[in-house]
């Protein structure tokens, strides 16, 4: 055992429309199965970020919640920048990712300014996108559900992966990787469906602490269930099974 791994869940009360807050619990459980103590720390609006963090996650919320979520993130912006600059991995999904960018252009012509933690901005798509999404990435083939009404531009040089089926960013790419910040449209929650990405985040976090991460034996059955779920979607998308 090592000292407790702290997984920070940002604004789970606002940013959990598609069950994305469960990504924090997935990380904590996989860390425990690997023999590490782990705790999920929920950070609500008005709360300060902890003095230390090992992984940070933020999920997606409704467009109606964008102003409240932005207001809650603004006081955290400098500290978030310090943490990610120090190498703390951060996973952001949907509008949580959009809020970390430069800004969000809404369909009515108004703009919600982002906190500028990563490059790029969200711009209106011609129609709402709600479908299965499959992505080729160096973390394995990622499969989930996308549910958004905007494309993401300005991150073409650093995508999470290439779209195999679905829309993603709207340009054949999906997501964003800047340093150890990962943005994606994938819901599911993404780490439950794609444990290879969860394990990558855990390896990054534990390497910062001088520890090696090796998935625990109890992960095997869960990973097989996740693989079967991905393959069910792959069949619908006419992609080969893993």
We report the CATH number of the domain holding residue 210 as 3.40.50.880
Residue 218 inside a domain? The answer is yes
Beta bridge partners of 132: 145
Segments forming the whole domain that contains residue 139: 5-236
Residue 98 inside a domain? The answer is yes
Provide the domain count of the chain. Answer: 1
- CB within 8 Å of 229: residues ≥ 6 apart: 193
- Please answer whether residues 194 and 223 qualify as being in contact, where contact means their C-beta atoms are separated by less than 8 angstroms: no
pLDDT at 1 over 60: no
- Please answer whether residues 133 and 120 qualify as being in contact, where contact means their C-beta atoms are separated by less than 8 angstroms: no
Residue 241 inside a domain? The answer is no
Considering the entire predicted model, what is its pTM? 0.97
Report, as an integer, the average pLDDT of 209-216.
Answer: 96
Beta bridge partners of 173: 162
Q: Please, how many CA atoms are within 13 Å of residue 132, restricted to the half-sphere of its CB?
A: 17
Helix (H, G, I), strand (E, B) or coil at 108: coil
Q: What is the pLDDT of residues 39-96, one digit of tens each?
A: 999 999 999 999 899 999 999 999 999 999 999 999 999 999 999 999 999 999 999 9
Report, as an integer, the average pLDDT of 174-202.
Answer: 97
Residue 160 inside a domain? The answer is yes
């Amino acid at each position: 055992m090592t000292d407790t791994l702290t997984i920070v869940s940002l604004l789970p009360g606002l940013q959990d429309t598609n069950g994305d807050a469960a990504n924090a619990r997935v990380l904590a459980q996989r860390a425990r199965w690997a023999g590490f103590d782990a705790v999920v720390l929920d950070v609500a609006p008005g709360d300060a970020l902890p003095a230390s963090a090992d992984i940070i996650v933020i999920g997606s919320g409704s467009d109606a919640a964008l102003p409240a979520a932005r207001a809650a993130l603004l006081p955290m912006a400098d500290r978030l920048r310090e943490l990610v600059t120090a190498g703390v991995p951060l996973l952001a999904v949907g509008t949580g990712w959009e809020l970390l960018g430069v800004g969000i252009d809404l369909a009515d012509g108004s703009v919600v300014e982002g906190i500028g933690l990563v490059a790029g901005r969200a711009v209106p798509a011609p129609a709402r996108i709600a479908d299965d999404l499959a992505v080729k990435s160096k973390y394995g083939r990622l499969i989930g559900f996308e549910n958004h009404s905007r494309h993401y531009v300005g991150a073409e040089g650093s995508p999470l992966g290439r779209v195999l089926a679905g829309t993603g960013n709207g340009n054949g790419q999906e997501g964003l990787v800047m340093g150890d910040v990962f943005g994606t449209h994938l819901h599911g929650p993404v780490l439950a469906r794609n444990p290879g990405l969860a394990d990558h985040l855990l390896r990054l976090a534990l390497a910062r602490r001088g520890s090696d991460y090796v998935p625990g034996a109890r992960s095997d059955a869960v990973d097989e269930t996740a693989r079967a779920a991905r393959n069910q979607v792959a069949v619908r998308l006419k992609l080969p099974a893993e």
